[in-house]
Structure formats: structure tokens, C-alpha cells
Structure 1
């Protein structure tokens, strides 16, 4: 069954219902699912999972990769990051989600939004929402992580928001070395500049990455960009 809109758009619709209809998120999600012809959001999410690109993207990643995942707000970049973590865990690999943007509850809500029960993965999944997150913190936490662990960082532009953190380029170099030396897959979620115009370019690219501070994007091995349900992937 074809959905009337991409999953991120349907999720925004559900969040609007939470605010205006004074109902819990799970109830709002189920109502949106019913409008799409599904008995529950979990059924919609499970059906949509078969056509979502996270599995294909994960298959193109390898230990040691430094990956940029970029999109404008509301286009599903956080969900894609979590879906990549889920794909890793389905393959028996570990994953860790570092976020300076969301609370633990919000991350768990996003698991439900993609039809996944976080509890089913046990110790394979770790969440770090500490205010101390920077490259050094991530490297310290991942020092003993097994090869193939997927590390999702949410998000790039927040890493150097504190004055006492190293420059962004230095932090990305640290994480690139971590990926290479430990055989990890580091996925960095990134904002896209507001100047990006989807009417002239269907999907953003490296030239649209928001860079409040200088950063050599050639430090990334691969890049993936999202917009309106479309994905573009390429080597950097």
C-alpha cells in the first residue's frame, strides 16, 4: 500500500496531533496509521520498512568508514541514523547513538516510530545523551568497542558549540582516526544550510552542508543525503 507521504512527514502529522489533540504520541501515531489504511502504526512502520533504504545503505558501509548523513529538518535523518543502528544490530553488531539534540525518551519514541522495540536488542544498543559529548568523549567511550560497531553522532554542528571544545576539523579527524584504527563505522548526522533550494536541486549535496566553522568535508569517506523520501549516496 502506497503511503500518502514519506514516514517523516506522517510523523510530523502525529506530533501535531499530540500538541493540538492532547493525546499521547502512540495514540496519535495509530490515528495517522488508520488514515493510511493500517490498523496500527506498528503495522504501517513494518510495511514501510521493506521499502526504506537503510538496509541498502548499511550494505554499502564497511568498518573504518566515516559517513556524513545530511538533510534539512523533518526529512528523516535522525530516523535514518537509528535505522542504520538497527540494521547493524540485526547483523549481530553493536551500535551506539550519541546525541546532543534529543533526550532518552525522545530517542525511544523514534524507535517506536520506525516500528522497533529497543528492548529486543539488549546490550547491543547504547545511548549517550550526555552534555559532555565531543570527539574525545566518543573516542573514550568507544575505546573497547568491537570491530564493526556502528557509531551514530547527532549531530555534526553541535560538536563545537562549547568554547572549550576543540575545533570541528580536529574533532572530525579524531573520529576518522577512531573509525580507521578500531574498524568502526562512524555516521555523523549533519544539518543542511537554509539556502538549499529543493526546487532547483531535488536532494542536497556536500555544497549544501551547513558549516558555521571551517571543515574539510574530504575527511568523510562516504556521504548520504535525504529529501522528501529520496536518498542519494556517493563516495566523497
Structure 2
């Protein structure tokens, strides 16, 4: 992905456009994004955050880590998870994408967007779309996985959506114990509460995670938060 100018200059261009043509800023931002080949500004900013963060993330993770990746919709959290998996495969590791949100075809389409249309590393990615995905299912699937294997779970808040599954807190505790025991790296895509206000703080944090069911956020060892082309990586424990 190569933009015609840095993102701060693109924002400045949009502000001038909004002022000169008397249109809302979000309309001007979307118009600038289309000139760069994106359908809307949110997609452009998500790709910027993903590219800048994923290139360094894998090297900052250790075997047994529990990673939380949080953002509002359209700000790149799923793309970041997929890019992390592609980087893991490039590093000679096993990469697994557990998703309760996307089909296999939709996942491949997103991978192609990251790889510029080529199949490349994405052909080695394991994509799991079973409706039975939960902690027990994930641990069973990864039972023979080597230390350093990276698995992304999409997404945290729906692991217990089926009433026959254990509570979310119980599942995350089990997965933390599993990660520590096996050396697998487990990364969770997470929603951010709608009450998050970017005017108050530029990036969400652990307090903004949407948790309809209580979970001890201390079970996660690392976190990455994204918003509007910005990203922050944190070590929690």
C-alpha cells in the first residue's frame, strides 16, 4: 500500500476541501480516500494502522502471550490479526484464524487485499469457521501445535454466544492456562464500547473493551488498540 502523501497531509487536504466546498469533513475525508483507492476514509486509516503496527508486532510477542486487539468497527482490528498471521507464516510458524464472524471466502478476500491480490502466504493460513468455536474447540484443534504457533480468535465477545458454551471468563481463563502450557500465542479481536469518544482520548484502552459478560482483563499479557490510522501496543503483564 502506497499513498500519494502521508496520512496527516491527506487529512489536511480533506479539511481544505471541506472548507472550500462547504461540505462536512467526513464527506471530504471519504472523497480523499477514494482518490487513494479506498471506498471510504475508515478503510484507508485502518490499512495505515495495520501496516504500521503489524510489521513490528510479531517480534514483540513471546510464546504463551495472550494478545488483545481492540478497535471500533472499520478501524483495522481484523486486518491487523490477519497480517499478524501472515507475518507468523513468513517467519516459518503455524498460523490459524478462528472466526465466528467471516466465511472462508470472505477471509481469503481480506487476505488478498493485504497481499495485493496474490495468493502467497495466505495459502498456508489455516482458516477455521466452525460454529462450535469456543475455548475447548480451540484447545483441541491446537493440541499438537508447536510453541510459537500464532492463533487469532475473531472475536472475543461472541465466544460464549451459544448458551451451551461456558461463560466467557471461564473460557479466557482456560485459554490463558493453555497458552502458558503450550507456548502458543493467542490473539483476540475485540470490540470497543460504543461509549468510547475519540475527542476525549485519541485511542481506546483496556477500560473501553466492550464486555457484556465480565472478564478479568488481567488475563491478557499484551494489547494493541487502533483508531483512525493510529495504533498503540501495550505490555499488560
- What range is the shorter-chain TM-score in? 0.7 to 0.9
The RMSD of aligned alpha carbons is 2.7
Cα deviation for residue 58 of structure 1 reads 1.4
Q: After the TM superposition, which of the residue ranges 51-60 and 225-234 deviates more from structure 2?
A: 51-60
Give the secondary-structure state (helix, strand or coil) at the position aligned to 1:80.
Answer: helix
Residue 164 (structure 1) aligned with residue 179 (structure 2): no
| Alignment correspondent of 2:125 | 125
Is the partner of 1:114 in helix, strand or coil? helix
The residue aligned with 1:101 is 101
Quick one: structure 1 residues 122 and 70, their matched pair in 2 at CA, closer, same or farther if it must change by over 3 Å?
A: closer
- Written as runs of structure 1 = structure 2, the 5 A alignment for 1:51-200 is 52-115=52-115, 119-121=119-121, 124-200=124-200
1:29 corresponds in structure 2 to none
Moved more, 48-57 or 134-143: 48-57
Pick which of 117-126 and 223-232 moved more: 117-126
CA distance in 1, matches of 2:48, 2:203: 21
Question: 1:128, CA displacement in angstroms?
Answer: 0.2
2: distance between equivalents of 1:194 and 1:165?
26
Gaps of 5+ in 2: 8-31, 38-43
- 1:132-174 deviation line (CA, Å, top 9, x unaligned): 0000000000000111110000000000111110011110011
Give me the whole-angstrom Cα distance separating, in 1, the residues matched to 2:97 and 2:122: 14
Structure 1 runs (4+) greater than 4 angstroms displaced? 3-6, 47-51, 116-119
Using the size of structure 1 for normalisation, the TM-score is 0.79
**Which sections of structure 1, spanning at least 5 residues, go unmatched?**
7-31, 38-43
